[in-house]
Amino acid sequence: MITGRLFGVGVGPGDPELLTLKAVRILHESPVIAYVSADGRPSVARRIAAQHLLPGHSEINLALPMLPLPELAQAAYDEGASRIGSELEQGHDVAVLCEGDPLVYGSFAYLFDRLGERYPTEVVPGVVSFTAAAAAARKPLVGRAQTMVVLPATLPRDALLAQIGRTDAAAILKLGRNLAKVREVIYELGLSEQAIYVEHASGVGERVLRLVDLTADEAPYFSLLLLPAGRPS
Amino acid sequence: MITGRLFGVGVGPGDPELLTLKAVRILHESPVIAYVSADGRPSVARRIAAQHLLPGHSEINLALPMLPLPELAQAAYDEGASRIGSELEQGHDVAVLCEGDPLVYGSFAYLFDRLGERYPTEVVPGVVSFTAAAAAARKPLVGRAQTMVVLPATLPRDALLAQIGRTDAAAILKLGRNLAKVREVIYELGLSEQAIYVEHASGVGERVLRLVDLTADEAPYFSLLLLPAGRPS
């Protein structure tokens, strides 16, 4: 018997119009869609893709536990992979919706780990949050002989200092409760004037502010700081 | 008189199906499209977008000079900006087609520099080559507390060593004649087993190879090396 195919589908940063044509086609062709939801909240990826879903889809909601215990998360991925695997065994294609790009800071990696060797798998890349943020800020991010680092705000202070200090451009993702720490690092490096804060890039509630104009010490999870490289030489 | 609007439109890495819905809409709504062509060859961005263009578009081909002299390139951007500006003055919207994303290693920055303050400008982000390459290679690129650096292969050897040595994941773009140098750096860092070579990600002629299986010393300009971060801890 021929199994179904597993698709990791990037749905982009938030604007439903930033899905690719291919993402929309794969969603329309897949009888089953799957997505992760975290902390008891509705799935972000599903919300982004909602207007492209069809009435006939069956849906698999992989609910990650509230408690940030790695064993619980692994158990949730095990169970999700098993439900997806069962659809694939019945010959149904399954499209896993992923915010941004499936292979950049995505939970798709955990499903791919469990299913990618056993079933035919294809990944549809998507627009990532940091390029959408640069578009929202209307700032060239990196050019010519310049370098860019992409990193999560959850890193320890010293790692942030070292990484940001050695690059031309930076995108610092997942600010959340780490905003105050990241702000300190950026001021220490003398980069506060260039830093741009972007919340919900391209999505509902998009905000773009210079870091120096931002007073809060916490930020939503889907917020980031950009340090554009400036004009290339 | 109301001027036209300037759009920087990311057309993605090569597959015409990886344009976003928004990119297609903006192209359909813009009476004028513009693009850069280099070295006397047809424009890559125009080729990617070709099937989405309409018969009525007028087209501005900004031909960059063969000689890599900065003054000549600047003069070409000056002239292109002046032609685009003249359309905008007549109230025509102009969509500038950009491979990948307009603000990541794109020539759109040079036009934006010249026109972005004078005319209403919007940037439509696109899928970048390195996430399309990861999709082609079916390799998670970066996750959780990991860092990624994106850099051009044109950097000096020492800069490549330092940057790649301090990150979990790397994407090394624009290999071209720099493949031999980059290969040496990757072997020196003991990373050759992980390195994946991707040529024309998602486009015609896509090739994915392990670096250790690649014998050539030169590569096309639109090729890159990925160092995926490996399974996050």
Q: Is the pLDDT of residue B1 over 90?
A: no
Question: CB–CB of B131 and A101 under 8 A?
Answer: yes
The pLDDT value recorded for residue B65 is 84
Question: CB–CB of A104 and B10 under 8 A?
Answer: no
Q: Is the pLDDT of residue B147 over 70?
A: yes
Helix (H) or strand (E) holding A226, with range, is strand A223-227
Q: How far is A110 from chain B (nearest CA, A)?
A: 9
Identify which of A104, A95, A76 has the alpha carbon closest to the alpha carbon of residue A34: A95
B20 chain-A contacts, CB cut-off 8 A: 12, 17-21, 127
B149 chain-A contacts, CB cut-off 8 A: 147-150, 167
Helix (H) or strand (E) holding A155, with range, is none
Point out the residue among A113, A131, A231 whose CB comes nearest to the CB of B101: A131
The confidence band for B226, taking pLDDT boundaries of 50, 70 and 90, is very high
Question: CB–CB of A143 and B105 under 8 A?
Answer: yes
Q: Which residues of B199-209 are buried (b: 16+ CB within 10 A; e: fewer)?
A: bbbbbeebeee
Supply A137's token pair. 């800020």
B103 chain-A contacts, CB cut-off 8 A: 131, 134-135, 139-142
Q: How far is B191 from chain A (nearest CA, A)?
A: 19
**DSSP string of B51-108, one letter each residue:** GG--TT-EEEEEE--SS--HHHHHHHHHHHHHHHHHHHHTT--EEEEESB-TTBS-TH
The pLDDT value recorded for residue B231 is 63
A21 chain-B contacts, CB cut-off 8 A: 16-21, 24
Which residues on adjacent β-strands are paired with residue A223? Answer: A199
What is each CA distance from A23 to A27, A28, A199, B191, in whole angstroms? 6, 9, 24, 33
Q: Pseudo-torsion of CA A125, B27, B46, A228, nearest 10°?
A: -60
Alpha carbons A223 and A116: distance in angstroms, whole number: 30
Among all chains, which residue has been given the structure tokens 């002239």?
A: B79
Point out the residue among B131, B155, B162 whose CB comes nearest to the CB of A104: B131
Chosen from B17, B103, B221 to mutate, greatest number of chain A CBs within 10 A: B103
What's the average model confidence in pLDDT over A153-163?
A: 96
What is each CA distance from B182 to B62, B178, B192, B196, in whole angstroms? 31, 6, 11, 12
Chosen from A20, A130, A231 to mutate, greatest number of chain B CBs within 10 A: A20
For strands B223-227 and B169-173, give the pairing: antiparallel
Per-residue pLDDT tens digits for A79-99: 999 999 999 999 999 999 999
Per-residue pLDDT tens digits for A106-128: 999 999 999 999 999 999 999 99
Question: CB–CB of A151 and B150 under 8 A?
Answer: no
Domains of chain A (ranges plus CATH)?
A: 6-124 (3.40.1010.10), 129-227 (3.30.950.10)
For residue A156, the SS3 value is coil
Point out the residue among A20, A146, A166 whose CB comes nearest to the CB of B18: A20
A181 chain-B contacts, CB cut-off 8 A: none
DSSP state of B142: B
Q: How far is B116 from chain A (nearest CA, A)?
A: 9
**DSSP string of A64-132, one letter each residue:** --SS--HHHHHHHHHHHHHHHHHHHHTT--EEEEESB-TTBS-THHHHHHHHTTTS-EEEE----HHHH
For residue B26, the SS3 value is helix
**DSSP string of B174-221, one letter each residue:** --GGGHHHHHHHHHHTT-TTT-EEEESTTSTT-EEEEGGG---S---T
Q: In this structure, are residues A126 and A14 in contact, taking their beta carbons and an 8 Å threshold?
A: no
ipTM over 0.90 threshold: yes
Per-residue pLDDT tens digits for A177-190: 999 999 999 999 99
For strands A196-199 and A223-227, give the pairing: antiparallel
Per-residue pLDDT tens digits for A69-79: 778 889 999 99
Identify which of B224, B220, B225 has the alpha carbon closest to the alpha carbon of residue B39: B220
DSSP state of A153: T
Q: How far is B215 from chain A (nearest CA, A)?
A: 26
CB-count exposure of residue A232 (10 Å: 0-12, 13-18, 19+): middle
Question: CB–CB of B17 and A20 under 8 A?
Answer: yes
Supply B76's token pair. 């070409």
The confidence band for A206, taking pLDDT boundaries of 50, 70 and 90, is very high
What is each CA distance from A44 to A14, A39, A69, A84, A98, in whole angstroms? 8, 11, 21, 19, 9
Per-residue pLDDT tens digits for B58-112: 999 999 887 767 788 899 999 999 999 999 999 999 999 999 999 999 999 999 9
Q: How far is A132 from chain B (nearest CA, A)?
A: 5
pTM, entire model: 0.96
**How many residues make up chain A in this entry?**
233
The pLDDT value recorded for residue B73 is 87
Chosen from B24, B48, B131 to mutate, greatest number of chain A CBs within 10 A: B131
Q: Closest residue of A to B22, CA-based? A: A17
Point out the residue among A19, A123, A145 whose CB comes nearest to the CB of B152: A145
Question: CB–CB of A167 and B163 under 8 A?
Answer: yes
Point out the residue among A8, A150, A231 whose CB comes nearest to the CB of B147: A150
Q: Closest residue of A to B104, CA-based? A: A142
Q: Closest residue of B to A18, CA-based? A: B20
